[in-house]
């Protein structure tokens, strides 16, 4: 069997101090290090100065419509995820597109000059990593390249963290996006659950990742470490708090637009749009004209919008999606069904954020299971 053989150069081990070193190295390389940290009772992505700011010994408890952070464990990545995904870094909540100047009598349009930060993301969950692949399809779609997104994506460095426990609302195993990151990262980390001292298994995926790992204090990894990581991953996959049955889902949602279950969920849905804000893949936007400090200038901004807003579908004569039923149906059908037609993949990564941050606790996995399935209804 495996024994305690040393494994390839792709894997290394580090101690807790390795995380300090990692952040230091990244900062020396001029990266803005973005990672999870506790703030006002929530674990959110924010810029980190050092590894002590990671949410050591904190876990989150998530239920439909509820989220809280408590003490538990001794690792940095015990929690599942917070309300913010990485979306806002690549697809900012608001972005200046251009300025128009009418002072010369005619109109002059000038593109906004935007500086793209150089981010290193530390502690990306596999589900969030998968969400970036999905956003790539939207913003690098072959019709028009969103160059802010493209530059930010190219400039960034990606340090993934494989999950060592599953949250109550997690269903990445259903969406095949986790709990272990398979691609799209420079290095990935797995906190090993063992009786030994705190150890992190590092997997190196890119040359860039290797050169960074070479600058921090690591030791050789062995077959046992890798099998422990795999066991952990298997255990997490088995203990997902939620399951979404995806077989036939694309057809079932599109073919049952008139299912009475839509009206039922609409009675609970407040159409607040929280689900679209916390979703790591919801990408819809609007534009705004803002008067500049000079009265002959206007600035055009691109800002996040939601398919739950009434003016989202405004055409001559009013909004096309008046009822909350039609707006919830659009969101769910797009996310789990028409997204596949449009981009070849589901728009859902199974992070569970929309369930936790829904003020009335609507559960996407339950609602999806009810559409087109009369026997599922009470």
Q: Which stretch binds another protein (CB under 8 A): 19-27, 50-58, 104-112, 207-215?
A: 104-112
| Binding flag, residue 326, another protein (CB under 8 A) | yes
The per-residue b/e assignment along 276-286, b for 16 or more CB within 10 angstroms, e otherwise, is bbbbbbbbbee
Return the number of the residue (222 or 329) whose C-beta is nearest another protein.
329
| Binding flag, residue 320, another protein (CB under 8 A) | yes
d(CA 96, CA 101): 15
Q: Which of 360, 365, 345 is nearest to 130 (CA)?
A: 345
Residues 115-174 touching another protein, rule: CB under 8 A, are: 115-118, 138-139, 141, 143-148, 151, 155
Return the number of the residue (1 or 315) whose C-beta is nearest another protein.
315
Residues 338-377 touching another protein, rule: CB under 8 A, are: 338, 341-342
d(CA 367, CA 61): 22
At 33 the three-state DSSP class reads strand
Tell me the C-alpha to C-alpha distance, in Å, between residue 299 and each of 293, 306, 335.
Answer: 10, 22, 32
Return the number of the residue (116 or 345) whose C-beta is nearest another protein.
116
Residues 185-224 touching another protein, rule: CB under 8 A, are: none
| Binding flag, residue 307, another protein (CB under 8 A) | yes
Q: Which stretch binds another protein (CB under 8 A): 95-103, 164-172, 184-192, 265-273?
A: 95-103
Contact 243, 49 (CB under 8 A): no
Q: Which of 119, 120, 123 is nearest to 37 (CA)?
A: 123
124 conformational bin, left if phi > 0, alpha if psi -120 to 50, beta if neither = beta
Among 42, 284, 345, 369, binds another protein (CB under 8 A): 284
Binding mask 27-46 for another protein (x = CB under 8 A): ---x----------------
Q: Which stretch binds another protein (CB under 8 A): 78-86, 227-235, 301-309, 370-378?
A: 301-309
Q: Which of 217, 218, 364, 225 is nearest to 282 (CA)?
A: 364
Give the shortest CB-358-to-another protein separation in angstroms: 20
Q: Which stretch binds another protein (CB under 8 A): 66-74, 163-171, 184-192, 330-338?
A: 330-338
Please give the size of the binding site for another protein, defined by CB under 8 A.
Answer: 61
d(CA 294, CA 297): 6
Binding mask 238-257 for another protein (x = CB under 8 A): ----------------x--x
d(CA 174, CA 224): 28
Q: How many CA atoms lie within 13 A of 174 on its CB side?
A: 25
Q: Is 110 exposed, middle or buried (0-12, 13-18, 19+ CB in 10 A)?
A: exposed
* Residues engaged in binding another protein (CB under 8 A): 30, 97-98, 100, 102, 106-109, 111-118, 138-139, 141, 143-148, 151, 155, 254, 257-258, 283-287, 289, 291, 298, 300, 302, 305, 307, 311-317, 320-323, 325-326, 330, 334, 338, 341-342
């Amino acid at each position: 069997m495996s024994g305690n053989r040393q494994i390839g150069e792709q894997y290394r081990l580090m101690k807790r101090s390795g995380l300090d070193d990692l952040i230091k190295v990244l900062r020396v390389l001029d990266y803005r290090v973005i990672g999870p940290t506790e703030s006002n009772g929530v674990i959110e992505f924010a810029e980190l100065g050092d590894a002590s700011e990671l949410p050591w010994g904190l876990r989150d408890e998530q239920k439909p419509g509820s989220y809280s952070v408590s003490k538990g464990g001794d690792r940095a990545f015990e929690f599942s995820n917070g309300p913010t995904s990485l979306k806002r870094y690549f697809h900012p909540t608001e972005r200046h597109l251009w300025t128009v100047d009418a002072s010369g009598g005619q109109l002059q349009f000038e593109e906004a000059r935007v500086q793209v930060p150089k981010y290193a993301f530390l502690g990306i969950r596999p589900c969030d990593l998968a969400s970036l692949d999905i956003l790539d399809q939207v913003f690098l779609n072959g019709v028009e390249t969103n160059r802010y997104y493209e530059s930010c994506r190219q400039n960034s460095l990606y340090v993934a963290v494989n999950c060592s426990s599953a949250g109550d609302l997690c269903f990445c195993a259903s969406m095949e996006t986790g709990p272990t990151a398979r691609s799209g990262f420079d290095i990935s980390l797995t906190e090993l659950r063992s009786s030994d001292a705190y150890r992190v298994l590092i997997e190196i995926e890119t040359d860039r990742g290797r050169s960074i790992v070479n600058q921090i204090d690591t030791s050789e990894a062995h077959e046992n470490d890798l099998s422990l990581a795999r066991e952990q991953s298997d255990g997490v996959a088995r203990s997902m708090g939620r399951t979404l049955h995806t077989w036939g889902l694309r057809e079932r949602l599109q073919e049952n637009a008139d299912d009475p279950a839509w009206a039922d969920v609409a009675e609970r849905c407040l159409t607040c749009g929280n689900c679209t804000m916390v979703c790591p893949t919801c990408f819809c936007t609007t534009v705004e004209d803002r008067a500049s400090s000079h009265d002959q200038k206007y600035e055009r901004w691109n800002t996040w919008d939601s398919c739950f807003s009434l003016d989202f579908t405004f055409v001559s004569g009013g909004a096309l999606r008046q009822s909350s039923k039609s707006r919830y149906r659009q969101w769910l059908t797009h996310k789990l069904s028409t997204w596949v037609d449009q981009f070849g993949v589901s728009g859902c990564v199974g992070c569970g954020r929309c369930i936790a941050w829904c003020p009335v606790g609507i559960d996407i996995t339950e609602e999806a299971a009810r559409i087109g399935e009369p026997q599922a209804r009470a």
